[in-house]
Structure 1
């Protein structure tokens, strides 16, 4: 592996840009556009408190289930992943894996993140692990690597976190009142209150919602009233987005009076389980969608995942730890029924559909085009490649599908969907790919040889479409 440090140009100026046209588009139009990251899982307390990270492991490896999965694939013991090993030990184990992540997006992401913001222009391996750790650690103790400084470095204009309806949003409010220029907006994620996966966990969430709204929840009308009050609370704090993640998309036409009575008994503790979680989820979802429309919010639907597949590891270390996968449930027809019902009643707000199962790319791209509205560009969006598809091939397929079935010129572009402040480099990754796709087709004569025309479309996809769509 001695050759790993000889190349001085790690993913250099022309990275992903396969033609002169692509380079002109990227450097002339895309590179310096501000970032609007309208869906991520960043922690608002970390941004607001603005404290130095304790180590490279803390900012780079903690909770990163992409890296965790790669380490497990390589046979690394769990103590060095989510376990009790020290920060330097975990980092060293990661460096064992990095040279073997070739052709996985982690290889690109890792080195892009080393370059920006750390300025480290080397391929990472065990041979330079100690040196890289030391240099990263030294940087992390400076003002330039405070969370807010990192966000400024990436030119992030606005970001939207993902928040529980019961959250008091104190950190968002503190940031709004501070001199931090980036808008940090909450996003409403009510999955825990509309989807019964585990009855006890669900009732625990309901108790939390009761406490924060100072109400008693014994019916769907009580629950919807509580959620409505939190939607208003979020709106007052600047929220413009609601978000839902579905393992299955619910049928929105199953709810009955008998189920209402049973659900009330369940909430009161008279029944240990509720018999039809899908019917409940579908009913509550439709009512929430109406509320989002009243507020003029954008609703986001994440579909196509199957979560927590390893029950042993779920028991040991909990959810969101790298044991999820692409699901195979067909959901488009149920989603179409919901969108049509809302549209017919003039209650359909702007909607973004993120798909994790590429089998359904064309299905969902065509579905999105059924519900447009005068004066709004692509009111229902076929959203960016998500999670396992957030890599070159997946992004190309998403954009090619959107181009062929809809209008990529009205696309709201990239988001990180990440828990890491360093992931803003993925916008750079996306922009380079986008410019390469357009530049390549300009070279071939498939698109006009007009950089100003195409460059304006590129800037729209990178920034302006998002700014207009979300009303920022």
Structure 2
């Protein structure tokens, strides 16, 4: 019987163990998509306790606590940080076989050298131990990133953000490079015209312009795209149910924008055309600047209307959706490719039923100009666990070139989530190791080791040009 989380965790063969320790374990981390708060990175803050760094904003844990019958006061409500931590500790033993159980203990070990299993019995000692360490300089935000050998992070930033904290960190220097990513989803969402108009008003203020026409809107957004580029941005991102690629004319979009500014209702067809026009325009700008564009597809968000009203978005009420992806994605990529305006592109898929769809779709637009130009992105959100990662890796292996894959990211709001890279690397080495020992791949550890180190680090380094 193997010990829990021992040195060879997930590495089920001697070959897997050799591959991991020789070629993956010590590589730096490029985390090219996450939701870390730039102000906390630039300020290099120390969290007051483990609850603040571990439970604030982590809707993975919140969902588990709710399922365990924990009241909202102990999750996002007004209870003390220690009371919230105790409720998480009470929940953890019931998360067995959920990746949260492994992640929780992996994080306690890698950051705090705490090997006790978290439960209500150990809650006080673990809370006190971790909290005491968090007060020391080496456990500041940048210290936590340094512990995990993080080289570069890309945050997720709205076009109206001033990027002050990215500038601050660049000027002051730090142990990690922090770059912005341009995420303009709010700018193309006309579902709530009051909200969109308030956003356009904010964009007016940021750009010191008047936005009364679609041309003025594009000009203001383009100025922010340019501003992001001036501040080191080379990555964009969208979180969408599906790609929007409706046919439209420029005149139609101008008229739709006038309706939006007048707060006159628009039809469902007009909604889709407006989204399609802006999504295409953003892709054009990305190509002009040589950026990498990312599309996260398939989440059905904010399912619980009552809790959305009470707590707002991104609080744990989202799920996998069953949207039709193929035709619109093909149409969108094909239009860009036909005009020679298709930037390097990563497609992330949330519905495992669409893995093979995405794996084959990206191959349609890899034209030899760049290795792995169009990528099937890493297993995302609900799928960034053992089964989901394995299925994504296998689909990409069977239908594309896993060797050109740009690897793992955290997509997280937590500074304690970086052992997920270790989790991914171990799983990757285990899959290759099994194939070698089964005689399905040659016993050439240097060749396979290079592929593994490329997937874990070098492919991303070259693809993003960080």
Q: Distance in 1 between matches of 2:72 and 2:249?
A: 44
Q: Distance in 2 between matches of 1:387 and 1:324?
A: 10
Within the candidate set 274, 278, 286, 1:280 is matched to 274
Superposed structure 1 runs of 4+ greater than 6 Å apart: none
TM-score when scaled to structure 1? 0.96
In structure 1, the residue corresponding to 2:112 is in which secondary structure? Answer: coil
Q: Distance in 2 between matches of 1:270 and 1:436?
A: 56
Match of 2:158 in 1: 164
Displacement of 1:270 in angstroms is: 5.2
Within the candidate set 9, 15, 18, 2:9 is matched to 15
Match of 2:184 in 1: 190
Match of 2:75 in 1: 81
Does 1:253 pair with 2:247?
A: yes
Within the candidate set 384, 387, 397, 2:381 is matched to 387
Match of 2:312 in 1: 318
Does 1:333 pair with 2:327?
A: yes
Match of 1:139 in 2: 133
Q: Distance in 2 between matches of 1:379 and 1:270?
A: 41
Does 1:151 pair with 2:145?
A: yes
Displacement of 1:144 in angstroms is: 1.2
**Where do 1:328-407 residues align within 5 Å?**
328-407=322-401
In structure 2, the residue corresponding to 1:36 is in which secondary structure? Answer: strand
Q: Distance in 1 between matches of 2:191 and 2:384?
A: 27
Is the CA contact (8 Å cut-off) linking 2:55 and 2:61 kept in structure 1?
yes
CA 1:143–1:8 in 2, change beyond 3 Å: closer, same or farther?
farther
CA 1:8–1:80 in 2, change beyond 3 Å: closer, same or farther?
farther
Q: Distance in 1 between matches of 2:243 and 2:342?
A: 17
Displacement of 1:378 in angstroms is: 1.3
**Where do 1:288-307 residues align within 5 Å?**
288-307=282-301
Q: Distance in 2 between matches of 1:138 and 1:22?
A: 37
Post-superposition CA distance 1:421-440 (Å, at most 9, x none): 11111000000000000001
CA 1:78–1:255 in 2, change beyond 3 Å: closer, same or farther?
farther
Match of 1:418 in 2: 412
Cα RMSD of the aligned pairs, angstroms, is 1.4
TM-score when scaled to structure 2? 0.98
Displacement of 1:197 in angstroms is: 2.6
5+ residue gaps, structure 1, are 1-6
**Where do 1:14-163 residues align within 5 Å?**
14-163=8-157
Q: Distance in 2 between matches of 1:49 and 1:256?
A: 44
Match of 1:3 in 2: none
**Where do 1:185-224 residues align within 5 Å?**
185-224=179-218
Is the CA contact (8 Å cut-off) linking 2:259 and 2:265 kept in structure 1?
no
Displacement of 1:254 in angstroms is: 3.3
In structure 1, the residue corresponding to 2:191 is in which secondary structure? Answer: coil
Is the CA contact (8 Å cut-off) linking 2:256 and 2:274 kept in structure 1?
no
Displacement of 1:419 in angstroms is: 0.2
5+ residue gaps, structure 2, are none
Q: Distance in 2 between matches of 1:448 and 1:270?
A: 64
Displacement of 1:373 in angstroms is: 2.8
